Amino acid sequence: MTTREFPPDFLWGAAAAAYQIEGAVDADGRTPSIWDTFTRLPGAILNGDDADAACEHYDRMPQDVALMKELGLASYRFSTAWPRICPDGGPVNQAGLDFYRRLVDELLGAGIVPWLTLYHWDLPQALEDTGGWTRRDTADRFLDYAMAVYDALGDRVDHWTTHNEPWCSAFMGYTGGGHAPGRQEGVAGVVAAHHLLLGHGLFVDEFRRRGGTPEQGKAVGITLNPTVADPFDPTRAADVEAARRLDGFHNRVFLEPLFRGRYADDLAGDTDGMLFAGRPWQDAVHDGDLQLISAPLDFLGVNFYHGDVPAALPYDAEPGELLGSRIEHATRPRQSPYPGGGFVFPRTGRPTTDRDWEIDPDAFTRLLVRLRDEYAVPPVYITENGAMANDVVEDGAIHDAGRREYIEQHLHALRDAMDKGVDVRGYFVWSLMDNFEWSYGYAHRFGLVHVDFATQVRTLKDSARWFAEMAARNALCQ
């Protein structure tokens, strides 16, 4: 047996998000987020689930940190809840901040590095009521909230992530409607994307002003979920065009402003004639915005689950005509998470996870190499990667071989990218424990730790024990 070792200081961890695990949605002054509202919409969440209890992490946090220590995690990536810390987007609520003070203290006491994400999709509903991320003022309110967190925790937290997957917040939330706040308003997704990036830039600027530099032991970045867009039929011009548009709306709408200080020319062409509130989306871009947004970062977080293989189809195509397609991104413009819609994702014959996401580790390697070659990104941390599986408890055990195999394949793909010179410094598996998986509710399980949502009993899965052993060894076997 041979091994593939990782660098001695490679960071191994697991990730979670506040809304997905905390519960206690009205405790200690917390007010509703857009997800509290969205879960009440008929048909929005699989099985009509809500996150009122979730994993009860708000009340069970010390036990959960003890689980992390048992697994030997070097780091824990978590998010803070904006409506808990600044209820209704208003003044700071110290009772809400106190929970995260206790969490950070518990992590440090267990020898676990806290890796903090400021925004993992739980915008206060009161701010959405005034326009949400389509309103420029929300970026300013984000800065107020973010600095309240920094003032409280900046002496003990060194790694700061502004946003998690702003693509989901912008396009799933304001164009496709499949995520909170559930709006289906075309090019509003691009407006929201710009304001999310502006909030990011405002925080990075203030972070630096307050001495947040690598020389002071501090680091700031953002987490994106870029995809690999391969045309279904590379000889068909329409499919090649669909792949270009997907790359533009999913990847380059964030990569270009962050790392080149501009929006790509084809984004304007693809949105030509589309108006939000009667105006082109470019009106949301003010002088100085792109300079703020493109300020140098200390790291880039990358979330990866699968690549995409788009095929161009007429808007009015029926599901039976879609070559057995998985209609995760629906064909009709009103439902598409991309302005204008116009393409779907046919099956390619690759194996899939139980969530029906195709497994393509090679795409992971290609993505990381592209980020290095085309955008000269800073050091990369894989901030989410994992597999949904239909776990079955058998005699008190969960034998999730498929999840282990998925993670192992992607770690080999990650090591391939590192062998090609990509500077990857850490890996966080998604997720620490089964949780409220957004619009899929509790039916889809990604955790290393099984949660019985009726009893809140936690059980380590086979994948958890394997991951702990592999991380302790700091090497893959092959």
Check whether the bond before 339 is cis (ω within 30° of 0).
no
Q: How many other β-carbons are positioned within 10 Å of the β-carbon of residue 450?
A: 22
What whole-number distance in Å separates Cα of residue 186 and Cα of residue 284? 15
Contact of 121 with 17, CB cutoff 8 Å: yes
Nearest to 382 by CA among 351, 422, 349, 352: 422
The secondary structure of 438-478 as a DSSP string is GGGTTSSB--SEEEETTTTEEEE-HHHHHHHHHHHHTEEE-
Q: How far is CA 243 from CA 173, 239, 305, 338, 345, in A?
A: 22, 6, 18, 12, 10
Length of the chain: 478
Strands 475-477 and 3-5: antiparallel
Q: SS3 of 383, please?
A: strand
Q: In this structure, what token pair is assigned to residue 149?
A: 């967190």
Contact of 35 with 51, CB cutoff 8 Å: yes
Q: How far is CA 474 from CA 117, 246, 466, 468, in A?
A: 25, 36, 12, 10
* Beta-sheet strands, E only, within 200-344: 219-224, 299-303, 311-312, 343-344
Q: Which residues are marked as active site?
A: 165, 384
* CA end-to-end distance (rounded Å), the chain: 6
91-99 long-range contacts (CB < 8 A, ≥24 apart) are 92/148, 93/28, 93/29, 93/30, 95/28, 95/29, 96/28, 96/29, 96/30, 97/148, 97/149, 97/152, 98/28, 99/28, 99/58, 99/61
Nearest to 39 by CA among 23, 28, 27: 23
Phi-psi map region of 417: left, alpha, beta (phi>0 left; psi -120 to 50 alpha): alpha
Q: In this structure, what token pair is assigned to residue 335?
A: 């439902």
- Widest Cα–Cα separation across the chain: 64
